[in-house]
Amino acid sequence: MNNTETVFIDGSTGEGGGQILRTSLALSCITGRSLHIENIRAARRNPGLAKQHLSCVQAACQICNGKCQGAARGSQVLDFQPGSIQSGEFYFDIGSAGSASLVIQTVLPALFLADKPSTITVTGGTHNPLAPPFDFLSGTFLPAIATAGFQANCKLIKHGFYPAGGGKITCDIQPWQKQSHQAINICQPSPAPIRREPGSMGAGFQIHALVYTAKLPAHIAQRQRKLLLQSGLNIQNIQHIEATDSEGPGNCVMIRLCGTDRTTVFTAFGMRGKPSQEVVSEVVNLAKDFLASGAAVDRFLADQILIYMAISKAGSYTTNELSTHLLTNMEIIKKFLPVNFNVHRQEQNYSISCQPAMEHSNREM
């Protein structure tokens, strides 16, 4: 679909954050429709475009020969005109600890629709709060969309913790095989890889934990390991990674819930003045809530796979929370693509499904 029609987006809608911009840019590239967005990041303490968001705009321009107006620090209005999507090797430098994963997620949908493979390299933050860390990108997100024929492989070249940044991620993307794909269908918890006591917390999963530290005293990792062992989760092993390549200090604790066919990664970040008890409790509670719900998709993945369901015009999953991010993303996607999303409550979970909009069911994307 290549349309000169302009899509108008109010960036203060719903969660009012950067996800609205990223989704809009991705869909503008895919559909060929120009984008006019106002009130960018209106709900944030420092509204408008920050370095990370500018990197997303610049990346979108580069992969589709686009033109834009308003791409400046602090700008709350942007006009974006996409050209044709091109494959190739791309390099994007955020210039701060802004999330490399979010820049990758902005351009991935369009590059999947290119005619040849592409490679992108992004420097910036690889492990920072309020964004998916590399481990989530590679371990949870990419395997989930691979089920629908979207094949990509990411590698961590260098760790970059907030606030120093300086990390590097590369990502190899294959063109989407539309004819051979299956719809995303993640409605049941992942089958158990090993037998466990039915009543134990985490039955049906192998649970692994990972403590990242960079340029920090050894007792921090030791303390967090002890707290994880006391968490009540049936953790099989706890790995400590000292990120010696990091340009600055950093700390995060991850819990990986591993089934036979997919892995769910939860993360909590340490920072100055935040006790280890709080860091570990945060990530443990995320994992426990998810395990107790019986949902198949966590709240973070739930809104990130919507765009791939929309491209496929099909898909379904269950999740344990209707986040504002999720609901806002649905509304933005429907402004660009002829799809509908259905939401049904199922006891303590929600079932989300995607299908072509009835009035557009006979039209091509």
Best CA proximity match to 334, nearest among 317, 351, 358: 358
Best CA proximity match to 227, nearest among 280, 266, 288: 280
Instruction: Report residue 159 CA to chain centroid gap.
Output: 18
Is 325 catalytic? The answer is yes
Best CA proximity match to 40, nearest among 24, 63, 27, 64: 24
User: Is the preceding peptide bond at 109 cis, omega within 30 degrees of 0?
Assistant: no
- 137 exposure class (CB count in 10 Å sphere: 0-12, 13-18, 19+): buried
Best CA proximity match to 123, nearest among 181, 169, 162: 169
DSSP 99: B
Write phi, then psi, for 210 (nearest 5 degrees).
-140, 130
Tokens standing for residue 123? 């420097």
Percent helix, strand, coil in the chain (nearest 5)? Answer: 30, 30, 40
Which residues, 6 or more positions from 311, have their beta carbon under 8 angstroms from its beta carbon? 30, 109, 112, 113, 176, 337, 365
Query: Which position among 181, 325, 344, 360 bears the catalytic label?
Result: 325
Burial code (b: 16+ CB inside 10 Å, e: under 16) for 78-108 equals bebbbeebbbeebebbbebbbbbbbbbbbbb
What is the spatial distance between Cα 146 and Cα 361, in angstroms, rounded to a whole number?
25
Question: Is there a contact between 99 and 124 (Cβ–Cβ < 8 Å)?
Answer: yes
User: Which residues are identified as catalytic?
Assistant: 325
